[in-house]
Structure 1
Amino acid sequence: MNLKFLASTIVVACVAMSQAASDKVVGFYPYWSQYSQFYPKDIRYNTVTDIHYVGLLPAEDGSLAFADENDAENFKTLAQMSKDNNVKLIVSVGGMEAEGNLKAIASSDETLSSFVSNVSSWISENGGDGIELDWQNVTSEDKEAYGKMVNALVDGLSGSIVTAVVYPSAGMDAYDTEALNRTAYVDVFMADQMTEESSEVVPNQSASYVKSTLDQVSGAGIQSDKLVPIIFMYGKTFAGAQGLGTSHQGVGSGNEGYVSYAELMGKFDAPDYKVTFDEASQSEVAVSKDETIVFMGIPSVKAVAQQVKNDGMAGVAVYDLSQDHHEPIVSLLVTLGLELRPGVDFKPKKK
Structure 2
Amino acid sequence: MKKMSLLAIAALAAAAIAAPFKVIGYFPYWAQYSQFMPKDVRYQFVTHIHYASLAPAEDGSIAFADENDAPQFEELAKNAAENKVSLIASIGGFEVEGNLKAIAEDDSKLSAFCDAAAEWVEKYNLGGVELDWQNATGEDAAAIGKLVGALKSKLSSKEVAVLTYASSVDAYSDALNQADYVVLMLGDQMSDSESSVKPNLSKQDIAGAVDGLAGKGVSKDKIVPVVSLYGKSFAGASGLGSSHQGVGSGNEGFIPYKELMKKFEAPDYKVSFDEASASEVAVSDAETIVFTGIPSMKALCGLVKDEGLAGIAAYDLSQDHNESIVSLMVTIGLQLRPGVDYSGKKRK
1:40 counterpart letter in structure 2: P
Decide whether aligned partners of structure 1 residues 300 and 111 sit closer, same or farther in structure 2, where only a CA change above 3 A counts.
same
Aligned-residue Cα RMSD (Å) equals 1.6
Report what 1:215 is aligned to: 211
Query: Which residue of the partner structure matches residue 174 of structure 1?
Result: 171
Q: Which residue of 1 aligns with 2:52?
A: 54
Aligned residues: 347
* Alpha-carbon distance, 1:176 to partner: 4.1
Instruction: Please name the residue that 2:119 is paired with.
Output: 121
Match of 2:222 among 197, 206, 226: 226
The separation in 1 between residues aligned to 2:125 and 2:29, in whole angstroms, is 16
For structure 2, the 5+ residue unaligned runs are: none
Residue type of the alignment partner of 1:214: V
Which amino acid in structure 2 is aligned with residue 60 of structure 1?
Answer: E
Q: TM-score, normalised by structure 2?
A: 0.96
User: Which residue identity is paired with 1:77?
Assistant: E
TM-score using structure 1 length: 0.95
Query: Identity over the aligned pairs, expressed in percent?
Result: 56
User: Retained in 2: the 8 A contact 1:18–1:313?
Assistant: no
CA distance in 2 between counterparts of 1:80 and 1:163 reads 21
- Look up the match of 1:149: 147
- Closer/same/farther in 2, CA of residues 137 and 158 from structure 1, 3 Å limit: same
**Match for residue 247 of structure 1?**
243
Flag the 1:145–1:6 CA change in 2: closer, same or farther, 3 A.
closer
Which deviates further from its counterpart, 182-191 or 40-49?
182-191
* Structure 1 residues 237 and 57, CA gap change in structure 2 (3 angstroms): same
2:19 is matched with 21
Question: 1:199 Cα deviation (Å)?
Answer: 1.1
Taking the TM superposition and a 5 Å limit, the aligned residue runs for 1:166-315 are 166-169=164-167, 171-177=168-174, 179-315=175-311
Please state whether the residue corresponding to 2:171 is helix, strand or coil: coil
| Contact in 1 for aligned 2:41/2:346 (Cα 8 Å) | no
In the alignment, the residues of structure 2 paired with residue 350 and residue 172 of structure 1 have an alpha-carbon distance, to the nearest angstrom, of 38
Q: Which amino acid counterpart does residue 277 of structure 2 have in structure 1?
A: S
Please report how far the alpha carbon of residue 2 of structure 1 lies from its aligned counterpart in structure 2 after TM superposition: 7.0
Instruction: Give the superposition deviation at 1:15.
Output: 4.5
Q: Match for residue 106 of structure 1?
A: 104
Please, which runs of 5 or more residues in structure 1 have no aligned partner?
none
User: What is the CA–CA distance in structure 2 between the aligned matches of 1:47 and 1:40, rounded to whole Å?
Assistant: 14
Mapped contact 1:325–1:331 kept (Cα < 8 A): yes
Please tell me whether the aligned partners of residues 238 and 249 of structure 1 are also in contact (alpha carbons under 8 angstroms): yes
Letter in 1 for 2:14: A
Measured after TM superposition, the shift of residue 312 of structure 1 is 1.6
